Chains A and B, each alone.
Chain A
Amino acid sequence: MPALEIRDLSYSAGGRAILKDVSMTVPDGALTVLCGPSGAGKTTLLRVLTGEVDPSGGDVLVDGVSVLDVPMRKRGIVLVDQQDRLFPHMTVRENVAFPMKIRRLSRAERAERLESLARRFHLESQMDLYPSQLSGGQRKLAAIMRALAAEPQALLLDEPFNGMDNPLHMEIRAFLSSLQREQHLTVLLVTHSKEDAFTLGDRIGFLFGGEMRLCRARGDVLSHISSVPDVEHFLGPVRAFPDGSWVFSDKLMQDGDVIV
């Protein structure tokens, strides 16, 4: 059973349809990527999943149970959005401890969990700093750490690499990938970057103009894009290799040979 299932979800605002009958599944323990251009409705979809806004139609199921009438705090779907939303008046330690206190973990359990998370995220020396004292990458990691402290059934990440320079981007991407595999996390990651989608995603969904055009396991995407012109155009020239690697390149079109 998928951890998270979205069925025919629709959402309108100001007379405009933002999401139109969107369906997708997020398998348990897998990293699913939702890819698409800016304005496609990706962030809106995440806000519907968390319960921040209510859809006009469709359903959201967590472990097979509909959660549309379940309040936000009980859904088990935690979002790390683009602005992090670390509480500015709390240290990193207090931020991460916040969901643990809500769940009434004992002081000893909290301390143990905090230590383990800080070690895993390599933020031991930043735990007593305030968010304004952290770098951009550290803030993002702290926000993800806080989300994991809530022990969610599904973790949503909205454009986690926005605003990062290339080295940091690569570092955080690699860290997320290893963390997800190690902890068998169910993750739905939203990005407009096709490179991030193909690097991280076990499964990739493509959202265009509020509609889900394609949603497949990564290995199957390239064999299906010819039937979905929007996705083909979005990805641009791409070549898959027998060993499972692939390359995106505009120069392929000019020369006919791979130019990396």
Chain B
Amino acid sequence: MNRRSMSLPEKLLLLLFAAALLLPLISLFLFSFFGSWGKNSLLPGSPTLSGFRTFFARDFGTAIRSTAFSLLVSLATLIISVPAARALLSLRASTRHRLETVLYLPMLLPPVSVSMGIHKVFLRMGLTGTGAVFLLHMYFALPYVFSLVFSCYASWGMEHETAARNLGARFFPAFFRVHLPIYAQGYKNAFFMGFLISYSQYFVNFYLGSWRDVNFAMILAPLISGSNRNIASVYTLMYLLLGSLVLLVCSFERKKGQKRGGTHAGT
């Protein structure tokens, strides 16, 4: 179906949805670049970059560290999800469903309850601060990363890699030269999802982290309903931009690959 076969009310409805989703983003840009908008003023006040200056002077380092931390969490989660997905694919359906349930539990359990509940256990184990935060970030990212990787395998199978092994390749050459290129986009999607989950964590860092674990979400929190909309909006805009940058890198595909017209699992 295409635009021409949509009725006018349908087109208007879609536009309305788009406007409803864009409106908050428009407010973000407006308040990021304009210092104030008085209640009696029809138009916003004069433009300003003071919010940006404050961000770069005070919290740019924290933002970068936060992003890097989440990238590491996502990578670690992907590294343990890939063999788990491969393993579960080879199991009987009933065994697989049971093990999948275990892996999907972090998606269902409340982060507040898990954080409060595991805190004392971690303390008894001597696991505090960054280590505890890293593990819990992985814990919450795991079901999302695993499910994306697993659905790739379930849809596309492992036959290409089996064919490579049948042709004489050892495990690692077959994995890196055949499997990985085919599933690259699927892995990138899973990686980005894991990054998002970690990047947006607030309560875990707030409750279990030390001063070293203050992340971007924690810096944002006190600004949300503060009186300075400009600062809150600039910080949110930078949060969005850094996340979008990661998305851009994950979406990047070598031009050669795009021209091939070959199918890649996960696209």
List chain A positions with a Cβ less than 8 A from chain B: 14, 50, 52, 71-74, 77-79, 81, 83, 85, 87-89, 98-99, 102-103, 130-133, 146-147, 149-150
Asked whether, in the complex, the Cβ of A88 is within 8 Å of the Cβ of B169, the reply is no
Complex A-B: 17 CB contacts under 8 Å: A50-B166, A71-B165, A72-B165, A73-B168, A73-B170, A79-B166, A81-B159, A81-B163, A83-B159, A85-B159, A85-B162, A85-B163, A87-B182, A88-B160, A88-B260, A89-B257, A150-B168
Considering the complex, give the chain B residue whose CB is closest to the CB of A72. B165
Partner of A52, one of B162, B167, B181, B260: B162
Residues of A within 8 A of B163 (CB): 79, 81, 85, 87
Contacting pair A146 B262 (CB below 8 A): no
Query: Is B92 interfacial (CB-CB < 8 Å)?
Result: yes
The reply to whether B167 and A147 contact each other, CB–CB distance below 8 Å, is: yes
Alpha-carbon distance between A146 and B263 when the two chains are bound, in angstroms: 20
**Interchain CA distance A72-B264 in the complex, whole Å:** 25
A87-B178 CB under 8 A given contacts A131-B262, A132-B262 = yes
| Chain B residues positioned under 8 Å from A130 (CB to CB) | 260-262
A150 touches B167 (CB 8 A): yes
Q: How far is the CA of A130 from the CA of B181 in the complex (A)?
A: 14
Given A85-B160, A87-B178, A78-B262 contact (CB < 8 Å):
no
Number of A-B contacts (CB under 8 A): 73
- The answer for the CA separation of A77 and B169 in the assembled complex, in Å, is 13
Contact A89 B260 (CB under 8 A): yes
Query: A131 to chain B: which residues have CB within 8 Å?
Result: 262
Most chain B beta carbons < 10 A, residue from A14, A102, A146 = A102
B164 interface contact, C-beta 8 A:
yes
Give the chain B neighbours of A146 by CB distance below 8 A. 167
Is B47 among interface residues, defined by CB-CB distance under 8 A?
no
Q: Which residue of B lies closest to A50 (CB)?
A: B166
What is the interface of chain B, defined by CB distance below 8 A to chain A? Answer: 92, 159-160, 162-170, 173, 177-178, 181-182, 257, 260-264
Residues of A within 8 A of B164 (CB): 87, 98
Q: In the complex, what distance in Å separates the CA atom of A136 from the CA atom of B209?
A: 58
A14 to B177, CA, bound (A): 33
Q: Kindly state the separation between the CA atoms of A149 and B264 in the bound complex, as whole angstroms.
A: 25
Q: Which residues of B contact A74 (CB under 8 A)?
A: 168
Contacts of A85 in B (CB 8 A): 159-160, 162-163
**Chain B proximity of A153: nearest CB distance (Å):** 12
Given contacts A73-B166, A73-B168, 14 further A-B contacts (CB under 8 A): A72-B166, A73-B165, A73-B167, A74-B168, A78-B167, A85-B163, A87-B164, A87-B182, A89-B181, A89-B260, A89-B262, A89-B264, A102-B170, A130-B261
Please measure, in the bound complex, the distance between the C-alpha atom of A52 and the C-alpha atom of B161, giving whole angstroms: 11
Please determine whether B169 and A102 come into contact, CB atoms closer than 8 angstroms: yes
Q: How far is the CA of A146 from the CA of B168 in the complex (A)?
A: 12
Assess the A102–B173 pair: CB atoms within 8 A: yes
Given A83-B159, A85-B159, A87-B164, does the pair A98, B262 have CB atoms closer than 8 Å?
no
B168 near A88 with CB under 8 A, answer no
In the bound assembly, the distance between CA atoms of A102 and B262 in angstroms comes to 23
Most chain-B CB neighbours within 10 Å: which of A50, A88, A130, A133? A88
Q: B95 to nearest A CB, angstroms?
A: 12
Give me the 6 closest cross-chain CB pairs, A-B, nearest first: A88-B262, A85-B163, A99-B167, A89-B181, A102-B168, A73-B168
Rounded to whole Å, the gap between the CB of B255 and the closest CB of chain A is 14
Q: How far is the CB of A217 from chain B (nearest CB, A)?
A: 29
| Min C-beta distance of A235 to chain B, whole Å | 32
Kindly report which residue of chain A lies nearest to residue B178, judged by CB atoms.
Answer: A87
- Which chain A positions have C-beta within 8 A of B177? 98
Q: Is the CB of A14 within 8 A of B167?
A: no
- CB pair B257–A103 under 8 Å, yes or no, is no
User: Do residues A88 and B264 form an inter-chain contact, with CB atoms below 8 A?
Assistant: yes
Shortest Cβ distance from residue B63 to the other chain A in the assembled complex, whole angstroms: 36
